[in-house]
Amino acid sequence: MGEIASLLDVRNEGGILIITLNRPDKLNALNRALLKELDEQIEFAYSSDAVKGIIITGSGAKAFAAGADISEFSALQPHEAQLLSQEGQLIFEKIDKLTKPVIAAVNGFALGGGFELALACHIRIASDNAKFGLPESTLGLLPGYGGTQRLPQIIGKGRALEMMLTADHTTAQTALSWGLVNAVTTQEELLPASIAMLQKFFTKAPTSIQEILRCTHLALETSGTSFLQESKSFGRCAGTEDFKEGVHAFMEKRKASFTGK
């Protein structure tokens, strides 16, 4: 299955599906085509007995994923933006709901949608150069792939709001102290450490693993209403002048100047 994927590099190592986001020249930004391939791989993981767990990581030394692909935002109408958000939410919720453990091996920038992808994974392990952030407010948007819902659950409301409202980057060490990541490793050790954690899980009873994941997901389940509100808010933001300014400013590599319109 994975061999034909082009925006993902996929291999199965002893029951661990290692999915590498593979657009290093664009810092593995999540465009629609890549998200579609990711969705296919997750569906495959649901149905295949050959997959016992998943690691998601990024190619290159610089990024896990630097967000949704901003170049696909430029002509986005509000209703299309809402739909885009809903499509992303659906894929990420499939990851969150999977009853096979999923680790995000965060090997660099995890920003915007890239950070939200890591948040949808069950566990995050970071290399020491990792940087986490939600820059959407710099673009006139808000996190639209479940980030407004999952981040406060993981690090608490105050820190989550600080991250979203400042758009500041958080280092791997701070992320560790906040409980955002389970461990920090060197870049070389990141994959081996992620594999070792999954292999340790695999020594336990398979049904226990499955049921623990199912129940823990239920404990933190976000209601459909709040996901829908996030998508609607994403669409609302996409109808503003500030959104156009934010996207143009990014493409032109300058600072945005917002007017509140």
Query: Which listed residue (58, 88, 101, 135) binds ligand COA by CB under 6 A?
Result: 135
Q: How far is the CB of 231 from ligand COA (least distance, A)?
A: 14
> Residue 215 has which token pair?
């129940």
Part of the chain binding ligand COA (CB under 6 A), chosen from 76-84, 121-129, 131-139, 191-199: 131-139
What SS3 class is residue 151? helix
Among 5, 68, 84, 151, binds ligand COA (CB under 6 A): 68
Q: For residue 18, with 0-12 CB atoms within 10 Å meaning exposed, 13-18 middle and 19 or more buried, which class applies?
A: buried
Give catalytic residue positions.
116, 136
Place of tokens 């809903």: 86
CB of 108 to ligand COA, least distance (A): 9
Q: Which of helix, strand or coil describes residue 150?
A: helix
What is the smallest separation between the CB atom of 137 and ligand COA, expressed in angstroms?
10
Using CB under 6 A as the binding rule, whether residue 88 contacts ligand COA is answered as no
Looking at the DSSP bridge assignments, the partners of residue 133 are: 111
Kindly state whether residue 112 participates in binding ligand COA, applying the rule CB under 6 A: yes
CB distance 141 to 120 below 8 Å: no
Residue 19 phi/psi, 5° resolution?
A: -105, 115
Piece in contact with ligand COA (CB under 6 A), picked from 21-29, 49-57, 174-182, 194-202 = 21-29
| Angle, CA 97 vertex, CA 91 and CA 101 arms, to 5° | 105
- Of the candidates 38, 41, 98, 109, which one interacts with ligand COA according to CB under 6 A? 109
Could you tell me if 55 and 195 are in contact, meaning their C-beta atoms sit under 8 angstroms apart?
yes
Interaxial angle between packed helices 224-238 and 241-251, expressed in degrees from 0 to 180 and rounded to the nearest 10: 80
* Near ligand COA by CB under 6 A: residue from 58, 88, 101, 113: 113
Taking the complex as a whole, the smallest distance from the CB of residue 243 to ligand COA amounts, in Å, to 11
Residue 74 interacts with ligand COA (CB under 6 A): yes or no: no
Q: What minimum distance in Å lies between the beta carbon of 87 and ligand COA? A: 14
Q: Least distance in Å: CB of 71 to ligand COA? A: 5
x/- mask, ligand COA, residues 208-247, rule CB under 6 A, reads ----------------------------------------
- Most distant CA pair in the chain, distance: 57
Q: Are 137 and 111 in contact (CB under 8 A)?
A: no
Q: What is the distance between the alpha carbons of residues 4 and 103, in angstroms, rounded to a whole number?
A: 23
| Residue 116 contacts ligand COA per CB under 6 A | no
Query: How many CA atoms within 13 Å lie on the side-chain side of 32?
Result: 10
Q: Is position 163 an interface residue for ligand COA (rule: CB under 6 A)?
A: no
Point out which residues bind ligand COA (CB under 6 A): 26-27, 29, 66-71, 109, 111-113, 135-136, 139
